[in-house]
C-alpha cells in the first residue's frame, strides 16, 4: 500500500512539472491554431474536473481519519 501511495504522489508531482513546462511555452500557445487551442481548453476542463474529484476524495478520506 505504501508503494502505491508513493507512486500516486510521484505521478502528481510529474504532472505538475509537465504543466509548468507547458505554461512556460507561451509562444507556442499564442501561435497554435484555433482547433488546437479548443482541444487544449477541453483537455484543461477535463483535468480540472478530475482534480476536483480527486480533491473531494482526498478530503473525504481525511475527514474519515479525524
Ranges of each domain in the chain: 1-31, 32-66
Model confidence band, residue 66 (pLDDT cutoffs 50, 70, 90): confident
Residue 37 makes CB contacts below 8 A (sequence gap 6+) with 29
Model pLDDT, residue 55: 95
- Output the pLDDT for position 6: 75
- Encode pLDDT of 27-54 as tens digits: 989 999 999 999 999 999 999 999 999 9
Prediction pTM value: 0.76
Model pLDDT, residue 50: 95
Q: Which of 16, 43, 17, 15 is nearest to 29 (CA)?
A: 43
Mean pLDDT of 49-61: 95
Amino acid at each position: 500500500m505504501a508503494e502505491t501511495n508513493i507512486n500516486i504522489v510521484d505521478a502528481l508531482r510529474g504532472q505538475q512539472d509537465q504543466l509548468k513546462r507547458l505554461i512556460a511555452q507561451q509562444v507556442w500557445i499564442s501561435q497554435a491554431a484555433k482547433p488546437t487551442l479548443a482541444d487544449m481548453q477541453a483537455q484543461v476542463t477535463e483535468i480540472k474536473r478530475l482534480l476536483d474529484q480527486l480533491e473531494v476524495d482526498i478530503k473525504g478520506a481525511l475527514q474519515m481519519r479525524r
